[in-house]
Amino acid sequence: MKRFTLAARLWAFVLIALALPATVNAAPFAAHVMDARTGKPIYAQNASTRLHPASLTKMMTLYMAFAAVEQGRVRLDSRFTISSNAAAEPPSKLGLRAGQQIELRYLIRAAAIKSANDAATAIGEGLAGSEAAFAQQMNATARALGMRNTNFRNANGLTQEGHYSTAEDMSILGRRLFYDFPQYYSLFSRRSADAGVAQVSSTNKRFLDDYPGADGIKTGYTRAAGFNLTASAQRGNKRIIATVFGGTSTAQRNQVMAQLLDTGFGRAPDRVREIRPEPLNIPSQRVVRRAQVQPEPTAVAAQPQRLVLSRSAPPRQVQRATDRASLVAAATPAPAAAPEAAPAARLVLAASQRPAPRPSGSVPEVVTAAETAPEVPAQAPQSASIAGAIVASARPTPAPRNRAAVAEAAPEPQQIAESAPAPAVEAPTGSLSLLASPPPQRRSETVILAAMGEGDISSPEAVQIVRRPAATGRNYGLILGTYTSRSEAEQRLLQSALQDGGSLSGARRNVADTRRGFEAHFSGLTRSDAQLACERLTARGEGCKVTGP
């Protein structure tokens, strides 16, 4: 009984000692503990209070970066240009310079492990064009994840008016990082990494080393926020995620986090049905480029046809087509006693020249036939755009089937010229026949280009087409081993690619489903790169095997 009382007093003293600094510190305290398997809360204290998240903001920045890679909008080896805004961010920072280009994989490592502010800003600007536009995308994603009391203004978490979150929302975000991107989650348990321009160490190294089962996630600190931490740990089949806001120091924050995780493991049931979060479909920003056509100097705009409405002549009265009245005329005049027909609409082609007649011996006969036709009344309107006159004629005689008969019946050309013109036969009302229609000229093969309308006709933006060179010399691969699940194999590939970004930067990651399990291997390597990567893996105590053609 005495031992129990003594232990209770010691625990009460520890709790008072831990709570006392929080009362004198300006940053308010908040905590939230969650069963990661179900997402249900286990413990909460001021969990919905809006506070400064500090560098816990980078969890959302990294979530957006992982989503962009998985959607194919960027690659881990995509090079981002550092702006003057990103280079001027205060520490903690990687030390990037304005105008410098660096691969996305190094920016992700620096933001996740070192919590570099310049790297986080460069990620946001590279993905959305500006930090303000990226903050809008972060807020839209936060609402889709169920983070109801969160609003972001920047990508790094530096104190800014209107930039806030809660302990509950950050626990939700930590759970989504674990379930939505398991292939990248091992990055949060790294103690150090190569960030391209420097070797960086983890800001969470002390807690990862001290607490058994801890494998992430992110620390944060500003003067207004205090010492913050979102952590995840696994023991057996239990996984607990907890968040602390407003710690007074790194040591005090880690102690409180250890107690919260212990409470979570003690209260969480041993067996529970895992409830995975629904997949989140993050809308990607698509840039649509409209192709423009630059008009050529020789292009001529097409002249539109003009339709002229006028009164038509009485029935069976043919208008004179051109001034050459001797060439084409109406076959029969209209009866004098016939009443005037009702006005009707007539379509006239305004600008159309008459094709030149074909040189042949039949032209004089056409003239002779025109002279015998009755004269067209003078009051009929004329049009210089009609190509030929349509007149009434009798149905032609069917051609004989015997070619010999055709040859005998055909008259000589001289006889045709001397023969008198046949009298005009009155055609039935409404019937049309072609009196003289010379063949049209051959259509020109010249293609006339026309402008495609108003709008921006400036030169289209150059689109860079990137093609992977032929697989010449890249026929080697690297087998890392066989694993029980596809997720484990993908995590192994990602971890190796992040650790050795030089020789494996251009390799393709593949997971083959074999009888023995899921085989993780790289492909598309040269022989030297494959051997170099395998030597590095062997030096770290990791197995590998080089394959060739």
Show which residues are catalytic.
Answer: 55, 58, 115
186's tokens: 């091992």
Output the furthest CA–CA distance in the chain (Å, rounded). Answer: 149
Q: Euclidean distance between the first and final Cα of the chain, in Å? A: 75
Q: How far is CA 434 from CA 241, 387, 390, 431, in A?
A: 93, 11, 5, 10
Contacts for 360 with CB less than 8 Å, ≥ 6 apart? none
- C-beta of residue 69 within 8 angstroms of C-beta of residue 177: no
Q: Which helix (H) or strand (E) holds 489?
A: helix 486-499
Cα–Cα distance for residue pair 476/28, rounded to 1 Å: 57
| Dihedral (CA of 151, 155, 160, 164) sign | positive
CA geometry: angle 498, 500, 504, nearest 5 deg:
95
For 357-415, the DSSP string reads: PPPSTTHHHHHHHHHHSPPPPTTS---TT--S-EE--PPPPPPPS-HHHHHHHSPPHHH
